[in-house]
Homo-oligomer: A and B are copies of this chain.
Amino acid sequence: MTCPLCHPEGENILWQDALCRIIRVADDDNAGYCRVIWTGHVAEMTDLEAAEREHLMRRVYAVEGALRECFSPAKINLASLGNMVPHLHWHVIARFEDDARFPDPVWAPPKRSGAPQPDVDDDTLCRALAQWLGRMDD
């Protein structure tokens, strides 16, 4: 099977380098949803070298920081699952107490119609992300 993360289509890329990319996920229920995707086709964090893990996680933390800054969520959810697509990627999701599934994970069935969430455009999120990426590499 062709790996959809090795051969992506239509991704909304906010930032990338040779090792990984940060995309924004279009999700009607979760306005503040990004993924950090490792470029190489590996499955697990322990398939990476220590420096590679650190590189990847600093990007995850930067996304967390930017989502907190832009969305003021109740909670951030971080997850690397990959059961469907075993190509290393991190979900970084801003959660709200009145979102469609809170306090369940975003993969659970919806509990309610979610309330409106902050309307943050890509440019605003990118600017916050750039600042957080800079801080993480200090």
Contact = CB atoms under 8 A, between A and B. Distances in A.
Interface string A73-88: 0111111111110100
Contacts of A79: 77-81, 105
Contacts of A136: 50
Contacts of A77: 79-83
Interface residues of A, number: 34
A108 B109 CA distance: 8
B86 A82 contact: no
Chain multiplicity (copies): 2
- Nearest 6 interchain pairs by C-beta: A83-B103, A79-B79, A78-B80, A46-B65, A77-B81, A84-B103
Given A50-B136, A78-B79, 7 more contacts: A75-B83, A83-B102, A83-B105, A84-B103, A104-B107, A107-B107, A107-B108
11 contacts: A44-B64, A74-B83, A77-B79, A77-B81, A77-B82, A78-B78, A78-B79, A78-B81, A79-B105, A83-B95, A83-B105
